[in-house]
Amino acid sequence: MATTRLRPRSPDIQIYRPQLTSVLSILHRITGVLLSVGSVLLVAWLVAVADGGDAYAMADRWLHSWVGMLLLLGWIFALFYHLCNGIRHLAWDLDFGFELGSIYRSGWTVVAVSVILTLLTWTLGLAGGE
């Protein structure tokens, strides 16, 4: 019996199991977008420095607010994660570390190192700040 009805499409992301491979990949992309937003603020900060004391004081106040601090923590993590995972990608581009065991080992290493670097930077920043 011929039907004109469209065939259904089988589900993909709705049912596919999250694995380290795909989760770290989408995290790379999300941190990349976060950093894009952050880089706009880096430029704004530079402009504030050039503009003088008042503009800088305003930017500084905003950065030290509750929201500013939270965003800063997010950006620091995004930066280190994107950096570490970027190095992992560069190694793959040179055809290194493609065995499944290496993929998982380097993946977990990237997560651990970026968390450690984030905490380290945060502690150092707070220790000297205020």
Partner 1 sequence: MSEWHRRDPLNRNPASARASALYRAIGLGSAKSGAHHWWLQRMTAVALVPLLLWLVVSLLAHARGGHQAVALWLGRPAVAVTMAVLLVALFWHMKLGLRVIVEDYVHADRVKFAALAAVDLVCVALMAIGVFTSLYLAFR
Partner 2 sequence: MLIKSSKQVSRWRNPKRFPVSRNSGASPASRIEAGVTWPEPEGATRVQHLQVYRYDPDSGRNPRIDTYAIDRDKCGPMLLDALIKIKNEIDPTLTFRRSCREGVCGSCAMNIDGSNWLACIRSLDEINEPATVYPLNNMDVVKDLVGDQTHALAQYTSIKPWLRSKTPAPTRERLQSPEERKRLDGDYECILCFCCTSGCPSHWWNGDRFLGPAVLLQAHRWLVDSRDEATGERLDELEDPFKLYRCHTILNCTRTCPKGLNPGKKIAEVKLMIQQRRS
Neighbours of 76 (CB within 10 A): 19
DSSP code for 14: T
Site string for partner 1, 41-80 (x = CB under 8 A): -xx--xx-xx-xx--xx--x---------------x--x-
Secondary structure class of 2 (helix, strand, coil): coil
For 72-103, give the DSSP string.
HHHHHHHHHHHHHHHHHHHHHHTT-S-SHHHH
Q: Please state, in angstroms and rounded to a whole number, the distance separating the CA atoms of residues 130 and 108.
A: 34
Tell which one of 8, 52, 128, 129 touches partner 2 (CB under 8 A).
Answer: 8
Six token digits for residue 128 = 């000297």
The one among 1, 4, 11, 100 contacting partner 1 by CB under 8 A: 11
Stretch touching partner 2 by CB under 8 A, among 47-55, 60-68, 69-77, 95-103: 95-103
- Residue 4 DSSP SS3: coil
DSSP 3: -
Q: Is 103 in the site for partner 2 (CB under 8 A)?
A: yes
Determine if 54 is a binding residue for partner 2 (CB under 8 A): no
Residue 87-126 contact track with partner 1, rule CB under 8 A, x = bound: x-xx--x---------------------------x--xx-
Query: Interface residues with partner 2 (CB under 8 A)?
Result: 1, 3, 5-22, 25-26, 89, 92-95, 98-101, 103-105, 108
